[in-house]
Structure 1
Amino acid sequence: MNDEQLLAELGAELERRADRLPPGRLTLADVQVRAGAVRRRRRAAGALAVAAVAAAVLVPLGLTGQGGDRAVDPATSPRTGDAVLAGDTLRHPDGTTVTLPLDASQVSEVGVLTDGRVVVMGTGARVVTVVEPDGTVQAEYPVALNDLTMGQGDDTVAWVDDEGTPQVLEAGQERPVAFVAVGFTSVPGGVAGTRVDAVLGTGCADGGCEVLAGPDDRSVTNTRLALERPSLVGGGHPMEVTDVSPDGRLWAGVLEPGPGEQFGCAVLYDPAADRVTARSCDTSDLRFSPDGAHVLGWRGDNDMVGEATAFDLDLREVRSVTPAPRQALDQVGWADDGGLLVVRASYDGQDWTLSRLPLERPAEEELLAGPVAGPLPEAGTAYLLSE
């Protein structure tokens, strides 16, 4: 199927759905899609080798008045680093803590909005839980995929609900905003569900933000979805978007692997200029630092990191992290603008540690917590870093 046929099919589907809607209102039932396999982003596992996915831009139902409802404290604080969940206690970068209704063994992903609310994705039932800053549960929502995506600057968080519709919860808003999406055609006669890769902007209920998404079977569509008409996105750079800089000017992504390649190359991409600004075939799954001045990339397998590297925005190496002998490198994230959070474990799970590695050489790794006993590293974690 060529690009013109794909655009025509998507356009016709949008028109058919619009014709079925009551005047002035869109419903979730009209955008039901099939949801596929569970995907955990932020971990550079072997699944990254399957394919890289282009972005699609979706239009919010918030334009019709659904979602939003400002009913929480709108005060926000900028993201300064990753929070850490140990047991049922989440420690923020400033040292404050909150007790969550689930502990680290029951959580696959956790995110923190800039208004202090915590969004938790459990490991069992497909439910996302929104927790107030004081630890009380605000709401629970059914999901199709156990996958959270934090927006630029952590002002938003997104997931795909049990009807296949992208939902975006924004700091200062009580309820998420639903986005319109149609199924992605991956093969003739086959339709894949939607997977959210990034959220751009704020003010979702007023149409101020966009969702970058792709099909959950990881096929490349290279399509921009909008109510008026679908269009191509990303020019000649089909990719899976892995993060967006805090100012929204750069996207981090992974290009589609070439013939015989296990991994696609990591890139930084300027969407306004449709230009790749930096490229490295030695890493994947880039994630921006809180100030946007660096990116962290890694590759690995068995849900563990083989090697992690901090780069500047030209993708030149600044600092790297590797596991010691008989040790697993479980997770690496951002402690702050100038340092990495490193979670290590012995193979038997008896010695878990959390440390900070400064970006500036020759400073050494500083132990923050541990060693403590925990699960086997391929089965869980004693310290879960926030998205």
Structure 2
Amino acid sequence: MSTHDEQAFTEALRIQAVGAGTPTLTLDDVRGRARGIRRRRAAVVAGGAAALVAAAVLPVALLVGGDSSPDSLPPAGDPTVSDTANPEVEVSYPPGWVVDGEVRSSDGTAFTPDVRGGISSLLRIGADRWLVGGYPGRGEFQVSLLDATGTTLATYDAADSGLVGDGRGTAAMWLGDDGRRRLLLAGAEEPATLPTLVPEGSQLLAVLSGCSIESCTNLLEVDGVAPGEDSALLRVESNGDVTRLRIPGLVSVTEVSPDGALATGYSVVDEDAFEFCSAVVDVATGQQLWETCDASSMRFSPDGTKVLAIDAYLDGFAQSFVEVRSTEDGKVLHSLEGYSVLDQRWETAETYLVSAQDDRGENLLLRLHVDGGEPEVVERRQGSLGDPSSIRLGG
């Protein structure tokens, strides 16, 4: 991003922040690393909570260094994430996991990726394409597009800001090293480059379901775009329109539901009292639906009706339980205990996967149904108690 573009972006946010009021929150590491926060306890100090839902639409011209005359400004309004959330689509593709360097999934897919270095993130895109994020030896993040045999079709230099999908395998997004968003849809041969430069340090948070080239909504966080200012949560449309959002009741946002209607994150962070609480909030109204200090790192199910959570405090090298809660009232619908929980993710709206280790050091990939029943052992690898597992879920 050029100096002019970044200055324009910063000034636009500063002006809108003055008009809307800036909350006195200290977010630090929590908000800047949206994906990583799911798997570790945040180290932040919270100074308060916003008492008002505030949003500011930023004109495209200000973000890309173009004309900023009044005629170019979008109409004023009071938007929220859910105002323009894209409609849900029913099609979905099962995610994959990695075992000893081999990618596998529930539909029988099995291949060894033709990529250098380790796999830090793995996303399915359609029936026969995969995206792999990693650092191939020279320290720079790259995204590789693979076919169903593991052959690399294309490699893209990317910003170290994550690789995110819509949770259904129909859309994925990353930031190119030029500061522009790349959108890859299921069935497309190559990604589209979307308008709007984003400032350095932006972290992709989510791609809402129902993406197309003409209409796609994603969320990202920007750290400290103005001196002394907290990080901002931004909604960015495929046409370049940008909306700044604040969600009262959350001092950090770590996940947004597929339709953009709900958000979750930390609601209380008190290191002195060793208290870390999480909540689910209705984005449109700012109403906190429920809060818990027993679970955290919540991840929405593909249909947005449930969250997958782990205990709020690390137990040795892993978590001690994983549970499913209703997004409506926080009721625990299902839980898994008795294992060291290393990673977890949704497989479908009714099943989830857990990478775990038992008390003998055996590494397992378990499939669980939210309605109950015994865990299904999908993968099994011998390991050593307390050592990293060779089974990874990859995102």
- State the TM-score, normalized to the length of structure 2: 0.67
Pairs within 5 Å for 1:143-292:
143-145=158-160, 147-173=162-188, 174-183=190-199, 193-206=201-214, 208-215=215-222, 220-222=230-232, 224=234, 232-255=244-267, 257=269, 260=272, 264-292=276-304
Q: One-letter code of the match for 2:104? A: R
Task: After TM superposition, give the deviation of residue 270 of structure 1 in Å.
Answer: 2.5
The residue aligned with 2:73 is none
CA change 1:291–1:97 in 2 (3 A) is farther
Retained in 2: the 8 A contact 1:339–1:356?
A: yes
Distance 1:322 1:59 in 2: 49
Retained in 2: the 8 A contact 1:117–1:132?
A: yes
Retained in 2: the 8 A contact 1:57–1:224?
A: no
Offset from partner CA, 1:207-232 (integer Å, 9 cap, x none) = x1122111357984345477999764
Retained in 1: the 8 A contact 2:111–2:149?
A: yes
Task: After TM superposition, give the deviation of residue 195 of structure 1 in Å.
Answer: 0.5
The residue aligned with 2:20 is none
Retained in 1: the 8 A contact 2:94–2:169?
A: no
CA change 1:129–1:307 in 2 (3 A) is same
Retained in 1: the 8 A contact 2:235–2:243?
A: yes
Matched, 1:342 2:329: no
Offset from partner CA, 1:13-72 (integer Å, 9 cap, x none) = 99xxxxxxxxxxxxxxxxxxxxx99875374213x23379999999999xx9xxxxxxxx
Retained in 2: the 8 A contact 1:288–1:295?
A: yes
The residue aligned with 1:385 is 393
Offset from partner CA, 1:229-251 (integer Å, 9 cap, x none) = 97641353455433333444333
Task: After TM superposition, give the deviation of residue 117 of structure 1 in Å.
Answer: 1.7
Secondary structure at 2:261's aligned position in 1?
coil
Distance 2:196 2:244 in 1: 17
Q: One-letter code of the match for 1:10? A: E
Distance 2:297 2:272 in 1: 20
CA change 1:300–1:117 in 2 (3 A) is farther
The residue aligned with 2:153 is 138
Task: After TM superposition, give the deviation of residue 153 of structure 1 in Å.
Answer: 3.1
Structure with higher RCO (Cα < 8 A, 6+ apart): 1
User: What's the RMSD between the two structures over aligned residues?
Assistant: 4.3
Distance 1:354 1:202 in 2: 30
Retained in 2: the 8 A contact 1:60–1:178?
A: no
Retained in 2: the 8 A contact 1:57–1:211?
A: no
- May I ask how many residue pairs the two structures share in their alignment? 331
Retained in 1: the 8 A contact 2:143–2:155?
A: yes
Matched, 1:10 2:26: no
Offset from partner CA, 1:124-156 (integer Å, 9 cap, x none) = 542111112342212111223262222253322
Distance 2:279 2:298 in 1: 8
Secondary structure at 1:286's aligned position in 2?
strand
CA change 1:182–1:10 in 2 (3 A) is farther
The residue aligned with 1:293 is 305
Retained in 1: the 8 A contact 2:39–2:343?
A: no
Secondary structure at 2:305's aligned position in 1?
coil
Counterpart pick for 2:143 among 128, 138, 144:
128
Matched, 1:50 2:30: no
Distance 1:355 1:331 in 2: 11
Matched, 1:356 2:364: no
The residue aligned with 1:368 is 378
Distance 1:228 1:143 in 2: 19
Q: One-letter code of the match for 1:215? A: V
CA change 1:217–1:305 in 2 (3 A) is farther
Retained in 2: the 8 A contact 1:318–1:359?
A: yes
CA change 1:238–1:244 in 2 (3 A) is closer
Distance 1:331 1:225 in 2: 28
The residue aligned with 1:23 is none
CA change 1:292–1:10 in 2 (3 A) is same
Distance 1:370 1:112 in 2: 23
Matched, 1:94 2:107: yes
Distance 2:168 2:182 in 1: 17
The residue aligned with 1:189 is none
The residue aligned with 1:108 is 120
Q: One-letter code of the match for 1:367? A: V
Distance 1:43 1:274 in 2: 22
Q: One-letter code of the match for 1:108? A: S
Offset from partner CA, 1:75-111 (integer Å, 9 cap, x none) = x9833654222134322232333432249x8111111
CA change 1:340–1:225 in 2 (3 A) is closer
Secondary structure at 2:36's aligned position in 1?
coil
Offset from partner CA, 1:189-222 (integer Å, 9 cap, x none) = xxx610011112444532x112211135798434
CA change 1:297–1:212 in 2 (3 A) is same
Distance 1:145 1:307 in 2: 30
Offset from partner CA, 1:230-278 (integer Å, 9 cap, x none) = 7641353455433333444333333362574656532223223333323
Retained in 2: the 8 A contact 1:177–1:204?
A: no
CA change 1:381–1:79 in 2 (3 A) is farther
